[in-house]
Amino acid sequence: MIKITAIETGKAICKTRQQTAKEGRSAIGRKIDIFRDPNFVSPLPILTFLIEHPEGKFLIDTGDTAKNSNPGYLPTWNPFFTKMVKIKVAPVEEIGYQLHEMGVNPATDISAVILTHFHHDHAGGLDHFPHTRIIGSRENWKECQSMKGKIAGYLPQRMPIWFKPELIDFTANPISNFSASFPITKDGRIFLVPTPGHCTGHLSVVVRDEDITYFIAGDASYNEENIRNEKTDGVTFKPEIALKTLQTIKQFATNEPTIVLPCHDPNSITRLKNRQLFA
């Protein structure tokens, strides 16, 4: 039996046009729309997911850090960090504290941390895992380290000096309608699939339990509704790839009993609790 727990590690507030882009807009047009949009969405959860599997405990994403609010932590030259998105994390909301409250020692009890991508609200809690295997996409890591990455939501300069992620490539093992996959557990019940679009090299985590499948979607979409309606976000630099990813997730979740769990969807916790399937 596999157990999955959603852990909320703070709140994110973004523009409505970041969450859902206007149909037909180019990558650059979407960024202009975000800056012009006067409306912010209601605070969204920053979710991580703890998977308890017979082979160990696996954490999906780390959330952000309370240091995000410290003056100088975010680059002041970048208005996206300082004006377009607001991240609010209390120290007791950080993932390390919450795991301790659950009786899980982040220094010793986590078999691996899997990052759907390296954006700061998903990788900002890395400080809590100095002794843990940390897995991410090679493509996304390359983008994170680039100048484009520093403009587009990554903070490589704030990552721990010891951080050397285990980087994976999707080159084999097609599963269902995904062209490739990467196994995490020996029994094959936890595996990664490529879900690019929100950013280059974004990945999602699939957990196949005995009677149900969990699709931990990271930021492939901000919510399940946008997957169902095939509405892409304003962050993507490749709208056509983002759309193809949503269609692939939708087809996968329609073909087998699946709970879809985006990391900023306010309803992910309820769907997980109620075992509410994508339909």
CATH of the domain at 247: 3.60.15.10
pTM over 0.95: yes
Tell me the residue range of the domain where 65 lies: 3-273
Alpha-carbon distance of 265 to 222, in angstroms, equals 6
The continuous run of DSSP H or E covering 255 comes out as: helix 239-255
pLDDT tens string 172-188: 999 999 999 999 999 99
Number of domains into which the chain is organized: 1
Q: Which of 13, 12, 19, 14 is nearest to 232 (CA)?
A: 19
Task: Specify if 279 maps to a domain.
Answer: no
> Residue 80 — pLDDT band, cuts 50, 70, 90?
confident
Residue with tokens 């100095």: 130
Task: Specify if 216 maps to a domain.
Answer: yes
Supply φ then ψ for residue 81, to 5 degrees: -70, -40
Task: Specify if 224 maps to a domain.
Answer: yes
Q: Which of 182, 96, 83, 87 is nearest to 136 (CA)?
A: 182
CA distances from 17 to 52, 77, 128, 270 (A): 36, 22, 33, 25
The predicted structure's pLDDT at residue 265: 98
Task: Specify if 258 maps to a domain.
Answer: yes
Alpha-carbon distance of 6 to 45, in angstroms, equals 10
Q: Which of 150, 242, 155 is nearest to 199 (CA)?
A: 242
Task: Specify if 278 maps to a domain.
Answer: no
